[in-house]
Amino acid sequence: MTRLLLVYALLTGTIGFLLRPDEYSGNGETPTHWRGLASNMIKQKARLQLNVGVAKNVIMFIGDGMGISTVTAGRILKGQLAGQTGEEEYLSFENFPYTGLSKTYSQDSQVTDSASASTSYFCGVKANIGTLGLDGRSTRGQCSTQHNYEISSILDWSIAAGKSVGFVTTARVTHATPAGLYANIAERHWEGDIYTRNQTGGCKDIAAQLVDDYKQMQVILGGGREFFQRFDQMDPERGDNSRYGRRDGRDLIQEWKTGQHGLNRNSAYVWNETAFNQIDPTTTDSVLGLFEQSHMQYDYDRFDPRYEKAGEPSIANMTELAIKILSKNPNGYFLMVEGAKIDHGHHEGRAKLALYDVLAFEKAVDTADRITSETDTLTIVTADHGHTLSISGYPSRGNGIFDKVDTSLAQDGKPYTTLLYANGQGYRVHNGSRPDITNVDTTIDQYQQEAAVPLAQETHSGEDVAIYARGPMSHLLTGVHEDSNIAGVMAYASCVGAYSNYADCAASLTSG
């Protein structure tokens, strides 16, 4: 017996030894490979020069809800779609020269929402949950408390400096993230007059604030026609009228066109991809694109006729058009791009939808990188908050990111998936115990990963999110930051707002 074992050990030892070189060449991960990666990185980073120039342009990308676990899972998905094991992949913005962490809590909450977060990183002031463009003295949902507490944003400062401004989102253009740029309102849900008309205190709805107060805005691309059209106007794509339509008799789309005409601008209003693709940025001064009655589709569903009728552009193509229009201004521009559907997928507890939108968002960042230069453009990629997604268990290297953990079962003898949520709709108990998912296909887009706590919607999470930055002054974003610092860095780098007369800015401007 002992002798047999000895022979067996010798054989396997020998075979193992012989196999080892092959094993490495399988995916090339030899010791030389890992040490080579380090040495290449060192060669590159050791030569990094601080870019202390002026940012003529600032582009801020917000992956809504793109917490760190979402970035990791997104990069694994990207690698696996490219036929790799996945973990070794990078999303392109992870290669930006500087990264930092952002503390996302709001004035009144450990875990923030998109409204208080956008107020914080666009206006530079932490605020209360649910409020937009107001400081922490206002009370959510109370119209009368919003007056006198209004605060300005990087968008206002950029307009004052003579720059062109605009934004792209895959949510409604009146939704919390973009509205943090331009609205001052005590309740993020007051997107149309259907919500404000019964308020006492004279609060103007978010859509009306955009059209009335921001005629300067040259790019508005996203969803949300319902808050711009009268309730009795037929939606061109849906063929119905939204119950959220306007009751004040205003057709804000028509008013936007008239306003742009009044500014002598060659403007375009579009609501589908065909018309979008026909816009010539060289001759177009301003664009309003409203591609859905409400939010735009998940990128995963964009070509699915069950969801999308008239066709809508990708976030990458919207970003490209935005930059081409805005960059005609010799004073530069400020652009915000929001990947909103990452957040929506997570709220539904459907990680696959969220992660495919991470990849669509990455393409938008790539597009911007391709057509801008880090010499004069500060690009920031960050998130407003995370989600409760976890990547756990000990799945094998290369195990499908949407698959069950392949190395072990749970204590109840049933399989579990690598991706799980802490809370949300994925909570399932059948007959007193966790369901058996052995025969469940967990890789389909509609699959809801299991959750520990039942909630109507999966929630945001409170841990830090990452900031990725390149371009002028991007090194200021290394380290651990309050999310509100980001507004200051953008203003300082582009010499606007409180920093428009800052000595360093003036010096750089004259020397540059």
Ligand X SMILES: *[C@@H]1O[C@H](CO)[C@@H](O)[C@H](O)[C@H]1NC(C)=O
**Catalytic positions, written as ranges:** 114
User: DSSP per residue over 222-266, as a string?
Assistant: EE-GGGTSBTTSPPTTTSS--TTSBSSS--HHHHHHHHHHHTT--
Q: How far is the CB of 488 from ligand X (least distance, A)?
A: 33
Cα 197 from Cα 183, distance rounded (Å): 17
Q: How far is the CB of 293 from ligand X (least distance, A)?
A: 13
Among 215, 238, 265, 363, binds ligand X (CB under 6 A): 363
259-288 residues in contact with ligand X (CB under 6 A) are: 271-272, 274-275, 277
Structure tokens that stand for 40 in this block = 């290449």
How many of the other CB atoms lie within 10 Å of CB of 415?
Answer: 19
Q: Does 199 bind ligand X (CB under 6 A)?
A: no
Q: How far is the CB of 434 from ligand X (least distance, A)?
A: 12
**Measuring CA to CA, which residue among 359, 346, 304, 360 is closest to residue 448?**
346
Give whichever of 192 and 332 is closer to ligand X, judged by the CB atom. 192
Q: Does 200 bind ligand X (CB under 6 A)?
A: no
**Measuring CA to CA, which residue among 372, 369, 474 is closest to residue 53?**
474
Q: What residue number has its CB nearest to ligand X?
A: 314
User: Pairing state of beta strands 386-387 and 460-461?
Assistant: antiparallel
Residue pair 373/362 in contact (Cβ under 8 Å)? The answer is: no
Q: How far is the CB of 354 from ligand X (least distance, A)?
A: 18
Q: Does 129 bind ligand X (CB under 6 A)?
A: no
Among 310, 437, 455, 506, binds ligand X (CB under 6 A): 310
Q: Tally the C-alpha atoms within 13 A of residue 80's C-alpha that lie toward its C-beta.
A: 16
By CB under 6 A, how many residues form the interface with ligand X?
Answer: 15
Sole window of 24-32, 79-87, 212-220, 306-314 interacting with ligand X (rule: CB under 6 A): 306-314
Taking every pair of Cα atoms in the chain, the longest distance, rounded to a whole number of angstroms, is 95
Give whichever of 316 and 451 is closer to ligand X, judged by the CB atom. 316
Give whichever of 120 and 174 is closer to ligand X, judged by the CB atom. 174
Give whichever of 277 and 392 is closer to ligand X, judged by the CB atom. 277
Give whichever of 194 and 378 is closer to ligand X, judged by the CB atom. 194
Give whichever of 24 and 195 is closer to ligand X, judged by the CB atom. 195
Sole window of 70-78, 205-213, 312-320, 404-412 interacting with ligand X (rule: CB under 6 A): 312-320
Check residue 461 and give left, alpha or beta (phi > 0: left; psi -120 to 50: alpha): beta
Q: How far is the CB of 409 from ligand X (least distance, A)?
A: 17
Cα 309 from Cα 78, distance rounded (Å): 28
Assign 164 to helix, strand or coil.
strand
| Residues 6 or more apart whose Cβ sits within 8 Å of residue 406 | 395, 396, 399
Cα 327 from Cα 334, distance rounded (Å): 9
Among 2, 431, 446, 501, binds ligand X (CB under 6 A): 431
Torsion angle of the four alpha carbons 423, 427, 67, 168, in this order, in degrees rounded to the nearest 10: -100
Q: Does 438 bind ligand X (CB under 6 A)?
A: no
Q: How far is the CB of 451 from ligand X (least distance, A)?
A: 21
Give whichever of 62 and 194 is closer to ligand X, judged by the CB atom. 194
Q: Does 316 bind ligand X (CB under 6 A)?
A: yes
Cα 210 from Cα 312, distance rounded (Å): 22
Among 198, 439, 501, 511, binds ligand X (CB under 6 A): 198
Footprint of ligand X (CB under 6 A): 194-195, 198, 271-272, 274-275, 277, 310-311, 314, 316-317, 363, 431
